[in-house]
């Protein structure tokens, strides 16, 4: 039996509320009126975000009122489960497989808390098998799409023939805190959206994109670069301004070390699919990989059409690449709290 894990199908899902950037800007300007750095810089943050629209599990008016941690988390559980269920049913339909074919479930999410975890809730919602291997993952942030897929691949390799479902769902909009007038909270209002992605991974399938290798790197003395500040009214976003510079300075050498470590090289890569972060991060990624501006087309398109959904975003970009019938060797990258980078190489013929 072929012991290479393969991605049999990908599917994505978004909630029903559409937030166009043209609607968000006046609403945010009212919320952040009087901030010390002025209206010109405020407008520039939105104009330079590279985003036209995003999707939200709550309407725009929700953001204009304060909410407790409990209110947010109740919304998180209900909506994350809805999106996970939708993405699961869609990916099974794409693969032509029944629900009872799922033998393992890796669930990645960092924008809320659920115990029983989302995988148990999803099993109950969809009536999945009782013997499913469960792995809920919290805290990977934006790196969770790549690293969650890597964990599913590792599990699939350990049990050839067992089908693993990787669900990645984030509701970043719910982390907006009305009382927080900090710059990170402001920038988040220009970037974040909600979404979910699902991937079916199995060894021995004989078809699908082959996951060749995966890896990660965590920089020392970098814990303050990205994460949550836990407050009474919710999870407050924390990210450093120098992320684009770190990407330009360090990422290519880190990727090269990963590739050499798995017996590969950058010269063999045909496509690079990245978690976008924001427009400045995508610019930095293109510079780091010595690509022309705009070369990361699928990554930029997903950022423009869906915003930064944290962990699922890179899988949205991969789905877009597959839909364009791109074939060859892919490198997936993402960055998240730790401060960490996740890598995964796969091949599609």
User: Cα 271–219–192 angle (5° rounding)?
Assistant: 60
Could you list the beta-strand ranges (E) of the chain: 5-13, 17-20, 53-56, 102-108, 133-137, 163-171, 194-203, 209-218, 226-231, 234-239, 271-274, 328-336, 340-348
- Please name the helix (run of DSSP H) or strand (run of DSSP E) that holds residue 30, with its range, or none: helix 21-31
Q: Which residues face 271 on adjacent strands?
A: 330
**Alpha carbon distance 299, 318 (integer Å):** 8
CA dihedral 301, 21, 337, 67 (to 10 degrees): -150
Distances (CA, A) of 79 to 84, 173, 182: 8, 12, 27
274 counts as catalytic: no
Neighbours of 240 (CB within 10 A): 14
Distances (CA, A) of 155 to 59, 93, 166, 234, 312: 38, 23, 11, 33, 20
Q: Which two tokens stand for residue 125?
A: 């919602």
Q: Which residues face 170 on adjacent strands?
A: 195
Q: Which residues face 236 on adjacent strands?
A: 229
Pairing of strands 194-203, 5-13: antiparallel
**Alpha carbon distance 335, 258 (integer Å):** 14
**Per-residue DSSP letter, 338:** T
Catalytic residue among 142, 166, 172, 274: 142
Three-state SS string across 263-289, please?
CCCHHHCCEEEECCCCHHHHHHHHHHC
Point out the residues that are catalytic: 142
């Amino acid at each position: 039996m072929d012991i290479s894990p393969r991605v049999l199908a990908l599917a994505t899902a978004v909630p029903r509320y559409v937030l166009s950037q043209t609607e968000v800007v006046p609403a945010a300007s009212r919320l952040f009126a009087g901030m010390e750095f002025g209206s010109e810089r405020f407008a520039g943050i939105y104009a330079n975000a590279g985003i036209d629209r995003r999707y939200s599990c709550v309407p725009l008016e929700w953001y204009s009122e304060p909410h407790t941690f409990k209110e947010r988390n109740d919304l998180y559980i209900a909506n994350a489960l809805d999106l996970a269920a939708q993405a699961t049913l869609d990916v099974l339909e794409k693969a032509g497989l029944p629900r009872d074919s799922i033998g393992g479930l890796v669930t990645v999410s960092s924008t809320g808390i659920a115990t029983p975890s989302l995988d148990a809730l999803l099993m109950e919602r969809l009536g999945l098998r009782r013997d499913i291997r469960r792995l809920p993952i919290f805290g990977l942030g934006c790196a969770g799409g790549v690293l969650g897929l890597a964990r599913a691949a590792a599990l699939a390799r350990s049990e050839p023939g067992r089908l693993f479902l990787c669900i990645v769902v984030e509701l970043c909009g719910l982390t907006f805190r009305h009382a927080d007038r900090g710059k990170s909270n402001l920038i988040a209002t220009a970037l974040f959206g909600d979404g979910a992605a699902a991937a079916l991974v199995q060894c021995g399938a004989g078809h699908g994109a082959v996951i060749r290798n995966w890896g990660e790197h965590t920089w020392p003395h970098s814990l303050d670069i990205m994460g949550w500040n836990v407050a009474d009214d919710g999870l407050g976003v924390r990210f450093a301004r120098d992320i684009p510079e770190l990407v330009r300075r360090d990422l290519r050498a880190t990727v090269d070390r990963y590739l050499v470590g798995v017996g590969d090289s950058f010269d063999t890569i045909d496509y690079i699919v990245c978690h976008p972060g924001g427009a400045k991060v995508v610019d930095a990624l293109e510079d780091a990989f010595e690509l022309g501006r705009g070369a990361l087309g699928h990554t930029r398109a997903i950022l423009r059409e869906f915003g930064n959904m944290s962990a699922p975003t890179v899988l949205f970009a991969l789905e877009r690449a597959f839909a364009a019938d791109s074939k060859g060797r892919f490198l997936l990258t993402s960055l998240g709290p730790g401060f960490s980078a996740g890598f995964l190489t796969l091949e599609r013929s």
